[in-house]
Amino acid sequence: MKKVAIVGASGYSGEELVRLLLSHPHAELTAVTSRQYAGQSLAQVYPRFAHYPRARALRFSEPKAELLARQAQVVFLALPHGVAAEFAAPLLKLGCHVIDLSADFRVKSAAVYKEFYAHNHPAPGLLAQAVYGLPEVYREKIKGASLIASPGCYPTSILLPAIPLLKAGLIEPEGIIADSLSGISGAGRKAELDYLFVECNESVRPYGLPKHRHLSEIEQELSLAAGQPVILQFTPHLIPVNRGILTTLYLTPTAAATIDQVSACYQAAYGSEPFVRLLEGKALPDTKNVAGGNVIEIAWRLDPRTGRLIVMSAEDNLVKGASGQAVQSMNLICGWPETAGLIP
Amino acid sequence: MKKVAIVGASGYSGEELVRLLLSHPHAELTAVTSRQYAGQSLAQVYPRFAHYPRARALRFSEPKAELLARQAQVVFLALPHGVAAEFAAPLLKLGCHVIDLSADFRVKSAAVYKEFYAHNHPAPGLLAQAVYGLPEVYREKIKGASLIASPGCYPTSILLPAIPLLKAGLIEPEGIIADSLSGISGAGRKAELDYLFVECNESVRPYGLPKHRHLSEIEQELSLAAGQPVILQFTPHLIPVNRGILTTLYLTPTAAATIDQVSACYQAAYGSEPFVRLLEGKALPDTKNVAGGNVIEIAWRLDPRTGRLIVMSAEDNLVKGASGQAVQSMNLICGWPETAGLIP
Amino acid sequence: MKKVAIVGASGYSGEELVRLLLSHPHAELTAVTSRQYAGQSLAQVYPRFAHYPRARALRFSEPKAELLARQAQVVFLALPHGVAAEFAAPLLKLGCHVIDLSADFRVKSAAVYKEFYAHNHPAPGLLAQAVYGLPEVYREKIKGASLIASPGCYPTSILLPAIPLLKAGLIEPEGIIADSLSGISGAGRKAELDYLFVECNESVRPYGLPKHRHLSEIEQELSLAAGQPVILQFTPHLIPVNRGILTTLYLTPTAAATIDQVSACYQAAYGSEPFVRLLEGKALPDTKNVAGGNVIEIAWRLDPRTGRLIVMSAEDNLVKGASGQAVQSMNLICGWPETAGLIP
Amino acid sequence: MKKVAIVGASGYSGEELVRLLLSHPHAELTAVTSRQYAGQSLAQVYPRFAHYPRARALRFSEPKAELLARQAQVVFLALPHGVAAEFAAPLLKLGCHVIDLSADFRVKSAAVYKEFYAHNHPAPGLLAQAVYGLPEVYREKIKGASLIASPGCYPTSILLPAIPLLKAGLIEPEGIIADSLSGISGAGRKAELDYLFVECNESVRPYGLPKHRHLSEIEQELSLAAGQPVILQFTPHLIPVNRGILTTLYLTPTAAATIDQVSACYQAAYGSEPFVRLLEGKALPDTKNVAGGNVIEIAWRLDPRTGRLIVMSAEDNLVKGASGQAVQSMNLICGWPETAGLIP
């Protein structure tokens, strides 16, 4: 058993971390912070957890690094970008493992960070030691890391399907298109008119194009996989579901690539991964089949009419796209079974 | 005033035609057919229309061409493909104007029809006289037509944004991608497990790729606009809303094309169209802004990073994507204001 | 044609008034106010109305009574309670007809108002001249009124089914229970966490019991109908739909009352009302059959096992429950057909 | 570990049993039956479970009692009423424990069963040995039972709040009203038009009143608690959520009853129950706080204006209202911790 804390547990990712950690077999949730809810118990703020004795006992506190370092060995940061880095630095100094769900340590270049997030990087000195927390790609590095930059929800849905194909040279690095559909929880727990029920229900809409912030980390990781710079076309859309991202990738197979090679590539990359579900036969991804779980579904089709390869993925944006993946990294860091607390 | 009938008024397109025709200032709804509901009044089957005296008086009948030709001068066919053509032939002979919402007369080639619909064309002799009922493109032809092939919902959402750019040579005819998101009414009023509330709610999923039937008419019309064969990449998705299609088009501008030329092209094509809303400034399409109306929204962005042109459209799949557009054709045929019954 | 204005057109009721008045055959919308949107056009704030030339031309202004009185003969107030009365007083002095959608003039007693709304009545001197704008009950008074207190959404769904039975002595005035289910738009267009999509979707919950503010006007009107004080049990619930209220009333028939008498009572009261749909046979109310329209559906059952009379109603909370009913009052005041602009 | 089987695993209750049993620490799922899906694996029919090795290995079979009795010690019946009893008889003879989720053994009187279910009871000889599987009420009887009649979804939401008050004499047995709101999964996985997404979304509607089948078991259990016959007023409504029942009870306190006595009564009855959440302070039940879990939330208010006691409950109709409660009974029968597999 290790003691874990969540800094910023009042948003949807934070709440999902609470859910996962309350029932984790090896982690003991010892602190949750929220300026807004300080003093209230987890059970009061989130009645759905009230049947856990710990949720009735544990109260939100103001976030203070020194105190947190005494309360926990692993600290999750579920904070806005810019703010997260301010907590990461002292917590690392005090010996904690830090798993950051914000964007602060995902992009290795402080210049690119500034380009996409419109402010100076708050802790550039830590960038070199951060490991991008995508276990299916960086498992060994994660095991030894003290600072995890847990990937974004859209990036996870794009990178896991694309990276094996790029590494294997089965697709061209040029002209990749990712068309993504996200549930409303992806917008966060913010009191804004745009995310009211009446504004989202019976509504389907693109947003944030053509230069969404997540491009910075997606292109970084695609470029690493391709061995050359990759520029991505990315269009996110808001869809009236609570949870889920469905991504459709439009890819150009390299000259010799066949559908069997693509299938073999995915089998080799993910055939024994516990959280990647390669769909066979006629099955296609569906967010309802991954909601609440840490699994990403992937299916692929070669279109004989256009010659394009279409790859589709589905994940729960709050689990494999955020908190579940962060717990997966924790499991690796702590030497626990990678599926602990994620598959009952 | 002209008398109009609807053959097959028990599906969602048929119901929408009922809605539009009950309040149309120049059309009098004199017959509705449905084998399933024969004998019941419109008000009994669709309580939402019960405050219209005609809905309380008019009863569903069995579909019989001879009778219909006596009851109506304009007949809408809201039937499955294959079945529609069987009614069109006798109705035309008997002097009716026929507006067919099925796919039967959209594709000019019986061979292409067979390739995509998997059965021989039921009335190939009528194909030559059918006019594709997209008023913004074929307005003059529609005015003189006796047989209208009213476009499909996906095709409308793709063709209206793409055709002006192809005609103006502002985009390459190669490599066009259409990624579409449709509300569940697009699947029709069918008692199938896949479309139950619980199976669709909290679900987002692609389907029918890579060779959806609508490709046949879309590629035909894109090819006509481009003056050369166009092969389209098309991926439809099901989204948990009742109504609405959101399409994102990925296009390659031709060498000289600028964003100002694209804007000017759309202004020239649609600036005075009553049912095309060109979005300005930061606005992006949203299905909630077109639900219930006959308007299609279009927005466009040139991505300086990738060089691609992204065009997005939103329409109500049952109105501009089906029944509203069919009424628009009727208005043209009958010499009424084109917006009659469509904008109060 | 008369000129009309809307004060406070940025909420859901205000937006619905805009929708109805833009297509009204006799009213010309000449002013809309909103501090938040002042300077923007209706089309910019509500893209769904952009195909109306007036929506592109008309800009939101700051609310100023003197200016409004020059711009319009009829002024709708879609403001929070307390604020509405401040505008009503000067507008009435300046000769406008005022139709207030807030609660400010619904309760005839300033003391009861204070009990339920927790502040002194802002204009008690106007209470005597205000007419409660329920046309099916107060049609003649409305015709001659200069100040209309348009009823609340819940009250309309309860009063229309209950009043005829009370007046006819068919039910006991004691022990009435109203269990109501409201769509989320009933909460208004407020940026609060409770009304975010993720908090409302997949959620069903009671709220505001046992002493909801609307009780004040409901009990006032029930008491008038009964000729004696009526105390109501009222439980509202929030349901994840955009629009609609479904109310179930639990009533005790008086000794001699039969189901045929109840049916006859409703026929006598509402048989020729254009906006009341009395359901026959096995039909039961369904909010989807009234959404977007000004109709209220009513059905009733006598339970032989319990002896109770169950009456159910469905309405669109924004139309018959708010803006449509307000337009109905305007039609009466102005001597137009009562259904003008409400049934096309 | 014990071996368990599910007969009729193709409906929503059956699927939910699969979910719970795949992750149960002491039960091994060894057989699932479905005529429709015979031959297919659990993973093929329910992709969401495909990351469980057992779901990939276990195939649906035709339901045959003799075979099932060799495969499992505990058999769950998730079948329509009438059919369930046919399986229960042979399975019991062959020594299995049978937990029936249908209505077949809930009502102790074959005559009442016939009155409500419109056919003769298929196995009246077994009625005497069946135990009503409401653990909070019949825990000790369940432990020794071989045949469990697991309660219906509506009954659970009504009985758990009402029984302690009736037993304590705090409410009158006369005049009880239960107004219930159910998610669409309560209608089962049936391919019927009424339950299509488009028919349920943006719809709220009552149904099945005034004599819903569930009244038979509810009144039986209320009468037992009251020590006298209880007649219930019950109105179910369909609400567009996947899961959840929200029930509002209107009760008449007995002369001396105080709100403190009610609170004390609930504390005494349920204060240490793992699956009953008594809400304190201002909290009210919300289906989203119980979705996916086996918990029922209960809150109560005494209305000083009417003198009535309002009690509200929320549960997941598929878990505490069906499959979770059935697993709870299994845990009791098998001597496992009652929360095994229900709270991780």
Contact state of A293 with D48 under an 8 Å Cβ cutoff: yes
> Cα–Cα distance between C241 and C184 in angstroms, integer?
6
Given a contact cutoff of 8 angstroms between Cβ atoms, the answer to whether D78 and D11 are in contact is yes
Residues on chain C touching B289 (C-beta within 8 angstroms): 47-48
Against chain D, the chains showing at least 3 CB pairs within 8 Å are A, B, C
pLDDT above 90 for D56: yes
> Cα–Cα distance between D250 and B259 in angstroms, integer?
64
Given a contact cutoff of 8 angstroms between Cβ atoms, the answer to whether B11 and B80 are in contact is no
Q: Which of B190, B197, B242 sits opposite D195 (nearest CB)?
A: B197
Distance of CA D210 to the CA centre of its chain: 21
**pLDDT per residue as tens digits for the range A69-108:** 999 999 999 999 999 999 999 999 999 999 999 999 999 9
Contact state of D293 with A51 under an 8 Å Cβ cutoff: yes
- Token pair in block for residue C107: 């309760």
N-term to C-term CA, chain C = 17
pLDDT above 90 for A343: no
Active-site residue among C153, C200, C265, C334? C153
Contact state of A197 with C240 under an 8 Å Cβ cutoff: yes
Q: What are the b/e assignments for C288-315, b being 16+ CB within 10 Å?
A: bbbbbbbbbbbbbbbbeebebbbbbbbb
Q: For chain C, give the mean pLDDT.
A: 97
Q: Of all residues in chain A, what percent are helix, strand and coil, respectively (each to 5)? A: 40, 20, 40
Given a contact cutoff of 8 angstroms between Cβ atoms, the answer to whether A195 and A189 are in contact is no
Q: Which residue of A has its CA nearest to B184?
A: A202
Mean pLDDT, residues C273-287 = 95
- At D344, the pLDDT band (50, 70, 90 cuts) reads low
Cα distances (Å, whole numbers) of residue D160 to C307, D56, D322: 25, 38, 14
Predicted pLDDT at D309: 98
Closest to C151 in 3D by CA, of C324, C342, C335: C324
Residues on chain C touching B344 (C-beta within 8 angstroms): 23, 344
> Cα–Cα distance between D324 and D291 in angstroms, integer?
11
Contact state of C206 with D284 under an 8 Å Cβ cutoff: yes
Name A80's Cβ contacts closer than 8 Å, sequence gap at least 6.
Answer: A102
Catalytic residue flag (residue B153):
yes
Q: Which of A205, A231, A248 sits opposite B306 (nearest CB)?
A: A231
Work out the angle at residue B65's Cα, subtended by the Cα atoms of residues B62 and B71, and round it to the nearest 5 degrees: 85
Distance of CA A276 to the CA centre of its chain: 14
* Helical segments of B233-301, H only: 259-270
**pLDDT per residue as tens digits for the range B157-208:** 999 999 999 999 999 999 999 999 999 999 999 999 999 999 999 999 999 9
Distance of CA A314 to the CA centre of its chain: 13
Predicted pLDDT at B256: 83
Predicted pLDDT at D30: 98
Give the position of tokens 């000794």: C255
Predicted pLDDT at B343: 81
> Cα–Cα distance between A290 and A300 in angstroms, integer?
17
Please give the full DSSP string across D39-76, using - where no structure is assigned: TSBHHHH-GGGTTSHHHHH-BEE---HHHHHHH-SEEE
| Residue type at position A200 | C
Name A87's Cβ contacts closer than 8 Å, sequence gap at least 6.
Answer: A7, A63, A65, A75, A77, A79, A98
Residues on chain B touching A204 (C-beta within 8 angstroms): 181, 183, 239, 241, 244, 246, 286-287, 314
Given a contact cutoff of 8 angstroms between Cβ atoms, the answer to whether D319 and D294 are in contact is yes
Closest to C185 in 3D by CA, of C321, C293, C297: C321
Axis crossing angle, helix B324-334 with helix B12-22, rounded to the nearest 10: 50
Q: What is the DSSP letter of D235?
A: E
Give the position of tokens 């025709």: B21
Q: Which of A184, A193, A198 sits opposite C198 (nearest CB)?
A: A184
Count of CB atoms within 10 A of residue D80's CB? 13
- At A256, the pLDDT band (50, 70, 90 cuts) reads confident
* Helical segments of B213-316, H only: 215-226, 259-270
Count of CB atoms within 10 A of residue D139's CB? 14
Closest to C324 in 3D by CA, of C299, C298, C292, C300: C292
pLDDT above 90 for A21: yes
What does residue B166 show for φ and ψ, rounded to 5 degrees? Answer: -65, -45
- Token pair in block for residue D174: 């006369």
Given a contact cutoff of 8 angstroms between Cβ atoms, the answer to whether D156 and D296 are in contact is yes
Contact state of D202 with C242 under an 8 Å Cβ cutoff: yes
> Cα–Cα distance between D5 and D250 in angstroms, integer?
40
- At D94, the pLDDT band (50, 70, 90 cuts) reads very high
Q: Which residue of C has its CA nearest to D199?
A: C288
- Token pair in block for residue B26: 């120049």
Q: To the nearest whole angstrom, how far is the Cα of A194 from the nearest Cα of chain C?
A: 9
Count of CB atoms within 10 A of residue C223's CB? 16
Residues on chain B touching D201 (C-beta within 8 angstroms): 184, 197, 201, 240-242
Q: To the nearest whole angstrom, how far is the Cα of A284 from the nearest Cα of chain B?
A: 7
Predicted pLDDT at C238: 98
Distance of CA B301 to the CA centre of its chain: 25
**pLDDT per residue as tens digits for the range D64-80:** 999 999 999 999 999 99
Looking at chain A, the whole-number percentage of residues with pLDDT higher than 90 is 98
> Cα–Cα distance between B185 and B148 in angstroms, integer?
23
Residues on chain A touching C191 (C-beta within 8 angstroms): 191-193, 196
For residue B179, what are the β-bridge partners?
B235, B248
Active-site residue among D153, D200, D265, D334? D153
Predicted pLDDT at C49: 96
Q: What are the b/e assignments for D197-227, b being 16+ CB within 10 Å?
A: bbbbbbbbbbebbbebbbbbbbbbbbbbbbe
**pLDDT per residue as tens digits for the range C240-254:** 999 999 999 999 999
Q: Which residue of B has its CA nearest to D197?
A: B197
Q: Which of B18, B48, B241 to mutate to test the interface with C (most CBs of C within 10 A)?
A: B48
Contact state of B201 with D201 under an 8 Å Cβ cutoff: yes
> Cα–Cα distance between D183 and D200 in angstroms, integer?
10
Closest to B97 in 3D by CA, of B288, B339, B336: B336
Q: Which of C41, C51, C287 to mutate to test the interface with B (most CBs of B within 10 A)?
A: C51
How buried is B26 (Cβ within 10 angstroms: 0-12 exposed, 13-18 middle, 19+ buried)?
middle
Catalytic residue IDs of A: 153
pLDDT above 90 for A39: yes
Work out the angle at residue B303's Cα, subtended by the Cα atoms of residues B299 and B307, and round it to the nearest 5 degrees: 125
Which residue numbers in chain B have pLDDT < 70?
344
> Cα–Cα distance between C229 and C223 in angstroms, integer?
5
Contact state of C312 with D206 under an 8 Å Cβ cutoff: yes
Residues on chain D touching B240 (C-beta within 8 angstroms): 197, 201
Pairing of strands C233-238, C177-182: parallel
> Cα–Cα distance between C160 and C148 in angstroms, integer?
18
> Cα–Cα distance between D86 and D101 in angstroms, integer?
13
Given a contact cutoff of 8 angstroms between Cβ atoms, the answer to whether B199 and B143 are in contact is no
Instruction: Count residue pairs from A and B with Cβ separation < 8 A.
Output: 139
> Cα–Cα distance between D216 and D214 in angstroms, integer?
5
Predicted pLDDT at C256: 83
Q: Is B214 helix (H, G, I), strand (E, B) or coil?
A: coil
Predicted pLDDT at D327: 98
Given a contact cutoff of 8 angstroms between Cβ atoms, the answer to whether A325 and A293 are in contact is no
For residue A27, what are the β-bridge partners?
A2
Against chain C, the chains showing at least 3 CB pairs within 8 Å are A, B, D
Q: Is B100 helix (H, G, I), strand (E, B) or coil?
A: strand
> Cα–Cα distance between D179 and D212 in angstroms, integer?
12
> Cα–Cα distance between A197 and A206 in angstroms, integer?
17
Residues on chain D touching C243 (C-beta within 8 angstroms): 202
- At C344, the pLDDT band (50, 70, 90 cuts) reads low
ipTM value for the complex: 0.97
pLDDT above 70 for A344: no
pLDDT above 90 for D11: yes
Q: Residues of C at the D interface (Cβ-Cβ below 8 Å)?
A: 177, 179, 181, 183, 199, 201-207, 209-211, 231-233, 235, 237, 239-244, 246, 248, 250, 284-288, 291, 301, 303, 305-306, 308, 310, 312, 314
Cα distances (Å, whole numbers) of residue C337 to B22, C16, C74, D33, D83: 19, 20, 16, 63, 59
Count of CB atoms within 10 A of residue D302's CB? 18
- At C114, the pLDDT band (50, 70, 90 cuts) reads very high
- Token pair in block for residue B126: 């009528």
Residues on chain A touching B183 (C-beta within 8 angstroms): 204
**pLDDT per residue as tens digits for the range D121-142:** 999 999 999 999 999 999 999 9
> Cα–Cα distance between C244 and C227 in angstroms, integer?
30
Give the containing element (helix H, strand E) for A157: helix A153-167
Contact state of D235 with C248 under an 8 Å Cβ cutoff: yes
